[in-house]
Structure 1
Amino acid sequence: MPYRSVFRAGLFAGQTIVVTGGGSGIGRCTAHELAALGATVIVTGRKADKLDAVVAEIREDGGTAASHAFDIRDEEAVKTTVKQILAEHGRIHGLVNNAGGQFPMPLAMISKKGWEAVVANNLTGGFLVAREVYTQCMKKHGGAIVNMIADMWGGMPGMGHSGAARAGMLNFTETAAIEWGVSGVRVNAVAPGYVASSGMDHYDPNFAREVIPRLAGLAPLKRMAEEAEVSSAIVWLLSEGAAFVTGTCIKIDGGSSLGAKAFPLLDHQNSTPYQGFHRAVKPKALG
């Protein structure tokens, strides 16, 4: 069973697209969809074994993929890896700045080390990768970048370090869209709400047991997003169909950011999920 993308076959034929954090979750799903649409996908992350597994899946499905293991927070490693990718593939047409991570913790309990680690994961690292892809390739050839943020509007209690970093990434997206537009580079962002992704299985067991089961009820659509629903937005932003879209952010949150706190959200099952990813795995945290 192939990836059931809503986009036309061969949409990214002849293009090389880098997906950071491609070893699991939304990154893995997006890598699969891009490969199914003809792209040569370069998945990156810190753990080579996870990346190798995704590359093997993509090749088994008939796609083209390779991997590079490095830490996006390491400036020299970022510079070197981008140079290697260009040496091997000639050009980078698209970048999905997906890598990141956080842990639940109230602000008063976050240490300086913990704060800086999350900001480095979700803001500084993404900046470094985007800057090197731009300066080493896209400044001359153009391209498209999609940055990953989150539903951080109105605050992100319990994850204030991540909320601050994601808000910073949105402003970086807008600034880069202005500065890099002269080079034919489009820079956009996606902001998922609660996604039924493997990332949920990395949280503390108490958080997973007490909080995660309630998240589906917070959106007017009364469910969580599928990984494929985030991937399809990313794919569109990378595509020629979004050729005049830059500096914007697509919210993929089922309406949870609309601030409907004073309006009763009735339970229902009238929102049908798009389940395009044929290798999707339900998070253990959702039972």
Structure 2
Amino acid sequence: MPPSVPDYPRTAIVTGAARGIGAEVARRLAADGLAVAVVDLDETACTAVVDEIKSAGGCAVAVGADVADEAAVEKAVKRVANELGDPTVLVNNAGIIRDNLLFKMTLSDWDSVMNVHLRGSFLLARTVQRYMTQAGWGRIVNLSSVSALGNRGQANYAAAKSGLQGFTKTLALELGRFGVTVNAVAPGFIETEMTAETAARIGISFDDFKEAATKEIPVGRTGVPADIAHAVSFFASEDAGFVSGQVLYVAGGPKG
């Protein structure tokens, strides 16, 4: 390992980490003591999160990569290994929405969502598992959604998030004997730019959208990125080694 690589017990890769849930996950894992690669399509967009982590005493690096591009993923992971150490924690959070009713949904809408959510998670997991199996320890956390249970106007997104649950359970079966656990977190209504975009799509204000959602949530509030980061932190921890192949709905009430 090169001398420039920091001496941290674990290195994590978090995709889609320039904002929202991914950014909060990156901050939380850094606070937990991990070196964190903040990965997003635009590397410059990651610098604010990296600066926050470093200001708090943590270790992080910004990495730009298209998670749906095989060569870009290979290059990004190698860079992380060289600069931070071999990655043994992976959080597949990168995602996009291209919402529309089925009869209006284009092939591009479908393919774009599948490529980022499913192809991207596959490419990252396939690449990073090499380091995990070699180390005899690893944690993969995939971000699903309550939309996996079905959601009007999100045939592509729902199918992708449901697919990630099957992907999670299969990898748990394949990688368990190597000391690698694989779990999924399925957020409910979380206050992010993505949910704000959904409100705009259906033509209501974000405040009205949150108010309507709150009425349907048993705990009486909408979620925030920190709620998801806490769940990811548990799955990524040393003590969660006997939990694998699970889907945890973080939605303020029973789902699934």
CA separation of 1:29/1:117 partners in 2, compared to 1, >3 Å: closer, same or farther? Answer: same
Give percent identity, aligned residues only.
Answer: 34
Deviation string for 1:57-92 (max 9, x for gaps)? Answer: 111222111011010010111111112211223311
CA separation of 1:217/1:188 partners in 2, compared to 1, >3 Å: closer, same or farther? Answer: same
Return 5+ residue gaps in structure 1 as ranges.
1-11, 259-287
Distance 1:153 1:48 in 2: 29
Whether the 8 Å contact between 2:149 and 2:158 is mirrored in structure 1 is no
CA separation of 1:103/1:122 partners in 2, compared to 1, >3 Å: closer, same or farther? Answer: same
Query: Equivalent residues in 2 for 1:170-189 (5 A)?
Result: 170-189=165-184
| Counterpart AA for 1:138 | M
Aligned to 1:27: 22
Distance 2:76 2:38 in 1: 12
| Counterpart AA for 2:38 | V
Aligned to 1:282: none
Shift of 1:203: 4.2
| Counterpart AA for 2:20 | G
Greater helix content: 2
1:139 and 2:133 are equivalent in the alignment: yes
Deviation string for 1:175-197 (max 9, x for gaps)? Answer: 00001112111100000000012
Aligned to 2:55: 60
State the aligned residue count: 246
Aligned to 2:194: 199
Q: What TM-score comes out, normalization by structure 1 length?
A: 0.81
Shift of 1:198: 3.0
Aligned to 1:128: 123
Q: What TM-score comes out, normalization by structure 2 length?
A: 0.90
Aligned to 1:7: none
SS in 2 for 1:134: helix
Distance 2:158 2:201 in 1: 21
Aligned to 1:263: none
| Counterpart AA for 1:156 | N
Q: Which runs of 4+ in 1 moved over 6 A?
A: none
How large is the RMSD of aligned CA atoms in angstroms?
A: 1.8
Return 5+ residue gaps in structure 2 as ranges.
1-6
1:212 and 2:209 are equivalent in the alignment: yes
Query: Equivalent residues in 2 for 1:157-176 (5 A)?
Result: 157-176=152-171
Distance 2:148 2:62 in 1: 34
Whether the 8 Å contact between 2:148 and 2:161 is mirrored in structure 1 is no
Distance 1:212 1:109 in 2: 23
Shift of 1:35: 1.1
Distance 1:19 1:46 in 2: 12
